[in-house]
Structure 1
Amino acid sequence: MLLAMDNVTSYYGKTPILKQFSFGLEEGKCLCVLGRNGVGKTTLMRTIMGLTDRSTGAIAINGADISAAQTYDRAKLGIGYVPQGRGILSEFTVRENILLGTFARPDSDGQIPEICLRLFPYLKANLDRRAGLLSGGQKQQLAIARALAVDPKVLLLDEPTEGIQPNIVHEIGETLMMLNKELGITLLLTEQHIKVARRLGDDFLMIDNGRVVATGAIGDLDDALIHKHLTI
């Protein structure tokens, strides 16, 4: 497995949010993490990046335990992260935001990787524009470009289509599909749009109350599971 968690419990303060959480993600696959708001999807992503207060259990990339590693060391091992809310630095330019991702690359030459400019022509044409002036969809493109600048083996995307107009949702979906199916970058993404999950995912993982309650091939994501764990 490229990325795996084994019996992980993750805390904010003394409160466990993820509970005895286990899963495995094969190289080259796209795993969609599903569940209602507040069930632990964002905490899963933050736990993998080492951003919760503490966690127990094992987290591994390519079989190497990273449970005790600092966040920047996890990035250096090839984990790219697009957080919920995007995490763009509004006062920085587009160029400066993307270059932040290169700090995790051992081969960084201080230049923006070509893939970031090729995938997002708008960003290429606006490198010196202040990031706070971008639209929501443009900021999401920038967040993905910054994560790609890490040269990731696996890309974590927390609600990548949240709050974005439909035409940009389709465009981002096309980009993610290309990254996964053509370039072979492994994807782990949380998503509430079932259509997006079914289009992008090879497999799904359903969370409820901080626990894994269902997993399987994306074709096994039926209406009964959706009604039980996603409808309000």
Structure 2
Amino acid sequence: MVLALDNIASYYGKTPILWNVSFDVPKGACLAVLGRNGVGKTTLMRTIMGLTDRSTGSIRIADTDLSGAPTHIRATYGIGYIPQGRQILGKFTVRENILLGTFARKDGKEDIPELCLKLFPYLAENLNRRAGLLSGGQQQQLAIARALATGPQILLLDEPTEGIQPNIVHEIGQTLRMLNKELGITLILTEQHIKVARALSDYFIILDNGRIVARGPTAEMSDALIEKHLTI
């Protein structure tokens, strides 16, 4: 297993958001994290990155326990993070945003990886453009490129298709599938679009009130299960 969480609880202040969350992800697999709004999906991603106020339990990459490690150390162990809302730096250029990701590389390389330029031709042609002038879909591509610049073995994607036009959703889905199935990068993504989650993932977990209430191979994600846990 490339990533394993055991009995995780996570807090903002004194308020617990996640309770007794345990799962593992095989190397090269894609895990979809599903659930209604406000059930703890984003908190789970932030907990893996060490961005909540406090957490208990164990988070391991391979044989390394990162439970007490700060965020920048976790990044050097190969975790790339694309947060909800993208959080690109609008006053920075495309080039500068991508280069920020290289700070977490263990190999010391400070150039934009060729992969980023190959995957996103628009970004390659507009490296000196201010990121704040990009469309929502282009900013999401930039956020993915920035995470790839870290040289990750795991990518965490929080609502990667949120607020993006349908044609770009399809392009991003194809990119993520290639990163996962051809390059072997492990993906963990939260997703509101069940069609996207089914198309990309090998396994799923469903959160409700900060706990895992269902899990399994994506092939076993039935319509009845979706109706019970995901419809409003």
Structure-2-length-normalised TM-score: 0.99
Q: What is aligned with 1:77?
A: 77
Compute the displacement of 1:63 (Å).
Answer: 2.3
| 1:46-76, Cα deviation, whole Å (9 max, x unpaired) | 0000000000110111121101101000000
Which amino acid is 2:219 matched to?
G
Q: What is aligned with 1:54?
A: 54
Q: What is aligned with 2:123?
A: 123
After TM superposition, list the pairs within 5 Å mapping 1:73-112 onto structure 2: 73-112=73-112
Q: Structure 2: how far apart are the matches of 1:41 and 1:145?
A: 22
- Match status 1:4 vs 2:40: no
DSSP 3-state at the match of 1:22: strand
Which amino acid is 1:38 matched to?
G
% same residue? 73
Compute the displacement of 1:110 (Å).
Answer: 2.1
DSSP 3-state at the match of 2:59: strand
Q: What is aligned with 1:136?
A: 136
Structure-1-length-normalised TM-score: 0.99
Q: Structure 2: how far apart are the matches of 1:107 and 1:29?
A: 25
DSSP 3-state at the match of 1:103: helix
Q: Structure 1: how far apart are the matches of 2:107 and 2:6?
A: 32
Q: What is aligned with 1:189?
A: 189
- Match status 1:221 vs 2:187: no
Q: Structure 2: how far apart are the matches of 1:166 and 1:6?
A: 36
Gaps of 5+ in 2: none
Which amino acid is 1:172 matched to?
I
Report how many aligned residue pairs link the two structures. 232
DSSP 3-state at the match of 1:152: coil
Which amino acid is 2:131 matched to?
A
Q: What is aligned with 1:148?
A: 148
Q: What is aligned with 1:20?
A: 20
Which amino acid is 2:198 matched to?
R
Which amino acid is 1:164 matched to?
I
Q: What is aligned with 2:200?
A: 200
Q: What is aligned with 1:159?
A: 159
Which amino acid is 1:227 matched to?
E
Q: Which runs of 4+ in 1 moved over 4 A?
A: none
Q: What is aligned with 1:113?
A: 113
Q: Structure 2: how far apart are the matches of 1:64 and 1:109?
A: 24
Which amino acid is 1:45 matched to?
M
Compute the displacement of 1:18 (Å).
Answer: 0.6
